Amino acid sequence: MKRRKRGVTLVEVLVVVAIIALVAAGVAFGALPKWLEAQDKTATASARVVRRAVKSWWMVNDVSRCPTIDDLVQSGDVDRDGARTDPWGSGWRIECADSEVTVSSAGRDKQFGTGDDIRVPPT
């Protein structure tokens, strides 16, 4: 009598792997826009924090000077780890004119002057 072999064939394993890959790709494709939107919202919120920190720094220091991120970290107005960079790892651009402060991020493409830049307050 012949014994039946137990186990799965290579074709069955490949079919299961292909199905899992398709499901994972579908989830990733659906989640990507939400993830990108979350990065933009995080950048906007962080830019607001930096802007408030500049105004706080001005209350104690020289109002005629525009502080750098390092100045804000040294004074304790900005957390050393959290707000130094935007969600894409680029530094913030802080521009001061009279009593107004604009904080900018280069955005996803890491280049200033393009459509994905984040500015607080928006222009």
For the chain, the structural domain boundaries read 10-120
Of 5-9, 16-20, 75-79, 101-105, where does mean pLDDT reach its minimum?
Answer: 5-9
What is the rounded CA–CA span in Å between residue 54 and residue 67? 7
Q: Tell me which CATH code domain 10-120 carries.
A: 3.30.700.10
CB under 8 A, 24+ apart: contacts of 102-105: 102/51, 103/47, 103/48, 103/50, 103/51, 103/54, 104/47, 105/43, 105/47
Q: What is the pLDDT of residues 74-99, one digit of tens each?
A: 888 888 776 788 999 999 999 998 88
What is the rounded CA–CA span in Å between residue 90 and residue 109? 10
Secondary-structure breakdown of the chain: helix, strand, coil percentages, each rounded to the nearest 5: 45, 15, 40
pLDDT at 92: 93
CA 15 to chain CA centroid, Å, is: 37
Q: What is the pLDDT of residues 50-63, one digit of tens each?
A: 999 999 999 998 77
Does pLDDT of 15 surpass 70? yes
Residue 52, Cβ density class (10 Å: 0-12 exposed, 13-18 middle, ≥19 buried): middle
